[in-house]
Each structure stands twice: as C-alpha cells, then as structure tokens.
Amino acid sequence: MDIGSENSGGLDCFKAELSEKDFQVFSRYIYSEYGIKMPPIKRIMLQGRLLKRIRELRMNSYSEYKDYFFSKEGQEKELLHFLNVVTTNKTDFFREPVHFIFLNETVLPEFRRDSGNQPLKVWSAGCSSGEEPYTISIVLNEFERANPLFKFEILGTDISTQMLEKAARGVYAMNKVATIPLEIKKRYFLKSKDPHNQTSRVHPLLQKNIRLSYLNLMDATYGIQETFDIVFCRNVLIYFDRPTQERVISKLCMHLKKGGYFFIGHSESLSGMDLPLEHIKPTIFRKK
Ligand SMILES: C[S@@+](CC[C@H](N)C(=O)[O-])C[C@H]1O[C@@H](n2cnc3c(N)ncnc32)[C@H](O)[C@@H]1O
C-alpha cells in the first residue's frame, strides 16, 4: 500500500504497517498505564488510528512514531494525542435509560428525604464527550424545578482531553439530540440561529454545576478529597480485564458514601468480585 503517493506531504517512504513487535510495545504500555486491553486482534485498528497522527507529524513509519512516543519529548508532547486516538468514546444522551428512571424515581426521592440541605454529589467516571453528565444534569435540573431547595454537583472525568474539550463546549450534532424528548430539548438545548449550522448547544443551566477534569482511573490514588452520593462508571470497565476492574471499582468505592449508588454499563458485571457493594438491580449497586 503506497500511502505516500496520495499524500502531498511527501511521505514517499511511509512504512504502512505497525509491526507485531511495535504493536506489543504499545499494547503493553496502554494496558499497564491505562488498564485498556489491547489484544493482537486490535493491531489493525491501532494501526489505522495512529496513521492520522503519523501523517500530522510528517513521520515516515510506525517505528519512528514509537521511538518518538517513548522519548522524553514524546511523553511530554504526544501522550495526550495518543490517548485521544486509542480510547473508544462512544456515548449518547440517555444511554441505558433505566438508570435515569431509577435515579429519578428511587434515588432522588430518597435523597430528598434523608439528606438535609446537602448537595447531591455525582461522579461520571469515564464521561467521554459529556452526554452522560449532561443527561444526569437534565434529570437533576428537572428535580430541582419541582424541589427548589435541592442542590447538586456533578464531576465528569476522562483520560481523553479531546472528549473533555468537547464536553466543555457542549455543542452536539442534531442527530445526537434527536431522540431527546421535545419538551426537554426545548428547555435545555439551544438551536443555532444560523440555519446552516446543524448543531445544538446545551443550555448554561446544564453546565452550571458540572466540573470536568482529566483523571486516569488506573492512578494509585485519585487526588479527590470528596465523597459522592452516586458514581456512574458505565461502559469503561469493558476495556479492562477483571483484576483491573476489581481494583478500579474498589478505589471508586472509597469515594462513594455509605448507602451511595454505583451504576455500571449493561454489558458489564461485578459478579464474583470482592467489593463493598450490594446488588440492587441489574447494573445498579449500593455501598454497604
Ligand atoms: C465508551 S466511553 C463511555 C462513556 C459513558 N460513560 C457512557 O457510558 O456512555 C468510555 C470512556 O472511558 C474512558 N476511559 C478509558 N480508560 C480510562 C481510564 N483508564 N481512566 C479514565 N477514563 C478512561 C475513555 O476515554 C472513554 O471516553
């Protein structure tokens, strides 16, 4: 495959293959530092994802990129770009809607009854481009409309700075917001005045109580002093192996209040793990 010929950047001697050996070096690194499994079957996927970066950097081969990446300069300048390309960030508004129904019908009334005037604190761990924390914010804003004394704070964290920037912008393609009920959309999303601009911006109301920040769930400690009433860690654990999942959830539980709720994705399971959580419903747990 002659990539150079279709690229005016003059990468004529581009070596278009990520060798097994170089793949293994990246794969071991991604797993040990970020917990993300990268089995041999993902080599072509990684090769494809790194190609854009290699072109941007006007490099000639994957091995040149690898040497740069692991150099001191590469670790300082390239790491965040690398994380942006290796992470899988699929997400949606109201993804797995049973969680938001449970939040609204069970968790919030319970919280109003028991909490005094404390703010409800929610953590969206692995928040990707923001659809999850903004969905939580919609549910909590709606609850606040009916309960004016109710207060809340949401923390969204991820390792992809590109996704965190997208979350902070809060601007989404129309097809991303298409399935949100009309009444909610009218209240919490702003259409562009330009008819050619097919995007929708979240209303400042949805952003006012959200903090977004870089956090690697593999870090030994999270540098977070507070504890949360609810942790969402959905569709993140699937990229980790079971021992890593158990370690990460144990650490997340240290930041969950007693009686606090923990939500995982529908294709994830905690069965057989030694965790301070009791099972409430499929994918919904509570700290003992
Ligand atoms: C598939 S998205 C899930 C987004 C959202 N939670 C949902 O369920 O729609 C997974 C996210 O986890 C993030 N992620 C992967 N490994 C991580 C790690 N070690 N620490 C923090 N976030 C991580 C990815 O960057 C990605 O944005």
pLDDT in tens, the chain (288 residues): 333 333 434 445 566 799 999 999 999 999 999 999 999 999 999 999 999 999 999 999 999 999 999 999 999 999 999 999 999 999 999 999 999 999 999 999 999 888 888 999 999 999 999 999 999 999 999 999 999 999 999 999 999 999 999 999 999 999 999 999 999 999 999 988 888 888 999 999 999 999 999 999 999 999 999 999 999 999 999 999 999 999 999 999 999 999 999 999 999 999 999 999 999 999 999 999
What pLDDT score does 194 carry? 85
Q: Which DSSP string corresponds to 157-169?
A: EES-HHHHHHHHH
Catalytic: which of 43, 158, 229, 234?
158
Hey, what amino acid is at 147? N
219 is catalytic: no
Residues in the chain: 288
Whether this prediction's pTM lies above 0.75 is answered by: yes
What pLDDT score does 205 carry? 96
Cα 147 to Cα 80, 139, 245, distances in angstroms = 41, 12, 37
Q: Locate the ligand 1 atom nearest the alpha carbon of residue 217 and give its number.
A: 20
Q: Locate the ligand 1 atom nearest the alpha carbon of residue 218 and give its number.
A: 19
Token code pair at residue 14: 């581009």
Q: How many Å lie between the centroid of ligand 1 and the Cα of residue 159?
A: 7
Q: Do 54 and 65 meet the contact criterion of CB atoms below 8 Å apart?
A: yes
CATH of domain 5-86: 1.10.155.10
Of 52, 59, 110, residue with least CA distance to 84: 52
Q: How many Å lie between the centroid of ligand 1 and the Cα of residue 124?
A: 10
Q: How many Å lie between the centroid of ligand 1 and the Cα of residue 71?
A: 26
49 is catalytic: yes
Please give the Cα distance from 107 to 260 (Å, whole number): 9
Q: How many Å lie between the centroid of ligand 1 and the Cα of residue 222?
A: 16
Catalytic: which of 49, 112, 201, 247?
49
Please give the Cα distance from 153 to 53 (Å, whole number): 36
Minimum CA distance residue for ligand 1 atom 26: 89
What pLDDT score does 6 carry? 37
Q: How many Å lie between the centroid of ligand 1 and the Cα of residue 162?
A: 12
What pLDDT score does 129 carry? 98
Hey, what amino acid is at 137? S
Please give the Cα distance from 21 to 128 (Å, whole number): 30
Q: Do 124 and 156 meet the contact criterion of CB atoms below 8 Å apart?
A: yes
Q: Which of 38, 128, 264 to mutate to test the pocket of ligand 1 (most atoms within 8 A of CB)?
A: 128
**How far, in whole angstroms, is CA 85 from its chain's centroid?**
13
Domain boundaries, given as residue ranges, for the chain: 5-86, 98-287
Minimum CA distance residue for ligand 1 atom 13: 126
In the block, tokens 């990446």 appear at: 69
What pLDDT score does 13 carry? 55
Radius of gyration for the chain, computed over Cα atoms and rounded to the nearest angstrom = 21
Pocket, ligand 1, Cβ cutoff 6 A: 34-36, 87-91, 95, 126-128, 132, 158-160, 163, 216-218, 234-236, 239, 265
Q: Give the CATH number of domain 98-287; options: 3.40.640.10, 3.40.800.10, 3.40.50.150, 3.40.50.720.
A: 3.40.50.150
Token code pair at residue 43: 């080599």
Of 69, 27, 28, 60, residue with least CA distance to 45: 27
What pLDDT score does 235 carry? 98
